[in-house]
Structure 1
Amino acid sequence: MNHYMISVGINPSQADKELTVMFCGQGQPLPSHKIGPTLHGYYLVHTVTAGQGHFEMKDKAYTCRSGDTFFIYPDEVVSYQADDRNPWQYHWVAFKGEGAERILSSIGVTPDHPIIHSANYSRLIRIYQRIRLYLLKERQEALADLEAGGLFRLLLKQLGEANAERLPNPSKPASDMERQIGQAVRWLTVQFAEPISIDQMSKALGYHRTHLSKMFKRHTGMSPMQYLQHIRMERAKELLESRLTIEQVAASVGIGDALYFSKMFRKRYGLSPTAYRSALRR
């Protein structure tokens, strides 16, 4: 028996994707209980809630106490051991995914800096508990996966806030005008398949039409309508690789008249949509 107490919830649906929770648990190891040196084939995050213990990775040793969170990376030799007099208690999550390393880096965690201290770790404990209990009780695998994944991202967000001093340097704060143009660009990028007018966009964003158009062209080199047509035509090129008809492609990029769409496409690329599609196939 290596623990006074241990409880683990396992995700029954562990699809390979950007970030997937594998299992979540909490434990109270016995004094001096040690794991490793060993390798794991996945990531692990532990948050210490009481006592203390010792963690080693990449030839560095750390003493972790209440409020400390340590991250284990796959294929790194690690060992971690409960203190012999005041053994730690902790919650943990195992996870994997092609986006895991990038996401950890975004909150300031790397193999060389695997520790975060959070003074307000009671919030973290509640998230760990919700993940574990949901995995233990939920009978619908897809729902368990969604709930665990969403809660785990919230956990990482809370850890990122506690680790603010090590977050990647933010870019220079945008000016009010840059924010306005950014909003307009996002509006057009998301709404391009809908009937759009500059009046509509200006009202939705709360700007005067003339002012917005002038600033938009200054920052992008195009008027809002030119930018909209650029987005539509680039998306149309992608859709022409599918089995959609020309009429369906036109409608999918917000142009109801297939003949007008073909005229615009030829003007921009020198080929009709049909000729462009034939060239792709050849």
Structure 2
Amino acid sequence: MKPKFTNSARYKCLEYLKKNSYDLYLIYCGIEECDPGHFYGPVSRNEYLLHYIIEGKGIFQANGKTYHLGKNDSFLIYPSEVTYYEADKEDPWTYIWIGFDGIKAESCLNNATFSKDNRVNKFECEESLWNYVNGILNASKLTYASELKREGYLFMFLSALIEEKSRKNKSNKNETYDYPFHIYVEHALEFIAHNYEKNIKVSDIANYIGINRSYLTSIFKRHLKVSPKEYLVKYRLDKACTLLKTTNRLISDIAADVGYDDPLTFSKVFKSYFEVSPKLYRTQYQEPEYATEK
């Protein structure tokens, strides 16, 4: 079905979009300046539908509750539930809306602190949300490039909601993280494996995966029984041991290869772990070379 796109001074809408993704996909979106008393419902939907109020007031009814809403409020409609909403007769609302579905839809909404018990939230990222919906509406052509743009703006819309809630939680010193702790540990280990040869610090690892240093240290000790610093040092030294045993490269070069700009610092750290210097370790453990000819 061809996308429907209308554009006027009072109303914009894009709907009947093709559903190509099972994870998260856009169905429709729009912007409307409502007439006084304009209402919709009671009716049910087949998808998730999120409204965000730009200005004005109105009511939203779901699960036997009535919510009186205004500027910067948002309200969520779940699939297959009957809801009703109506613009105020004196100060009718203008809102944007976006309908979407997919197996990741509910988890995205949960991370933005929406749930069936928490239908209404306030967000201050009005300009970003407005721009993302406008981006979708402007990508109305039936082309593959436009389809990718629309899906991208949907992801950015939801990420703006999640990012704002996460930022507020951290500023309130009630810091929470989106994923189970072992996911952060896995990302940290991957970062170390790809960057150990650089002059990285524990703070660089924490910044890369988006958590603070103290939390990273806590989950490392919980999961691996060592601190991130201890793990990083041991990882570098294990790589150095392999190079000492299997190559004839200069020790200063090996030090640089595993993230130590100063060979003396490398030797000092190495000896504290293995109780021998890198040079003596090589003498003791280097694999012998066998001649291939008599």
Q: TM-score, normalised by structure 1?
A: 0.60
The aligned runs of 1:214-233 (5 Å cut-off) are: 215-216=234-235
- Paired positions, count: 198
Is the 1:8–1:24 Cα contact (8 Å) retained in structure 2?
yes
The aligned runs of 1:1-282 (5 Å cut-off) are: 5-10=10-15, 12-134=17-139, 136=140, 138-140=141-143, 142-164=144-166, 169-170=176-177, 182-186=187-191, 202-204=196-198, 206=200, 212=231, 215-216=234-235
Distance 1:16 1:206, change over 3 A: closer
Tell me the equivalent position of 2:213. Answer: none
State the secondary structure of the residue aligned to 2:133: helix
- Distance in 2 between residues matched to 1:180 and 1:109, nearest whole Å: 27
Post-superposition offset of 1:4: 8.5
- Distance in 2 between residues matched to 1:182 and 1:15, nearest whole Å: 29
1:115-146 Cα deviation digits (max 9, x unpaired): 22123412221121111111x2x331x32232
Is the 2:48–2:100 Cα contact (8 Å) retained in structure 1?
yes
Post-superposition offset of 1:153: 1.5
Post-superposition offset of 1:17: 1.2
- Distance in 2 between residues matched to 1:50 and 1:104, nearest whole Å: 23
State the secondary structure of the residue aligned to 1:38: strand
Post-superposition offset of 1:34: 1.3
Is the 1:8–1:23 Cα contact (8 Å) retained in structure 2?
yes
Is the 1:48–1:88 Cα contact (8 Å) retained in structure 2?
yes
Post-superposition offset of 1:186: 5.0
State the secondary structure of the residue aligned to 1:169: coil
- Distance in 2 between residues matched to 1:104 and 1:171, nearest whole Å: 12
Is the 1:116–1:162 Cα contact (8 Å) retained in structure 2?
no
Is the 1:57–1:77 Cα contact (8 Å) retained in structure 2?
yes
Identity level (%): 21
- Distance in 2 between residues matched to 1:171 and 1:160, nearest whole Å: 9
Post-superposition offset of 1:5: 2.7
Is the 1:42–1:94 Cα contact (8 Å) retained in structure 2?
yes
Amino acid paired to 2:197: K
- Distance in 1 between residues matched to 2:192 and 2:128, nearest whole Å: 35
Greater Rg, structure 1 or structure 2? Answer: 2
Is the 1:181–1:216 Cα contact (8 Å) retained in structure 2?
no
Is the 1:29–1:82 Cα contact (8 Å) retained in structure 2?
yes
Is the 1:11–1:144 Cα contact (8 Å) retained in structure 2?
no
Is the 1:19–1:100 Cα contact (8 Å) retained in structure 2?
yes
1:179-203 Cα deviation digits (max 9, x unpaired): 8985333565xxxxxxxxxxx8521
Relative CO higher for 1 or 2, CA cutoff 8 Å, sep ≥ 6? 1
Post-superposition offset of 1:215: 4.0
1:43-83 Cα deviation digits (max 9, x unpaired): 11111111111111122211121111111110122111111
Is the 2:49–2:99 Cα contact (8 Å) retained in structure 1?
yes
Distance 1:85 1:101, change over 3 A: same
Amino acid paired to 1:148: R
- Distance in 2 between residues matched to 1:91 and 1:97, nearest whole Å: 21
- Distance in 1 between residues matched to 2:184 and 2:38, nearest whole Å: 53
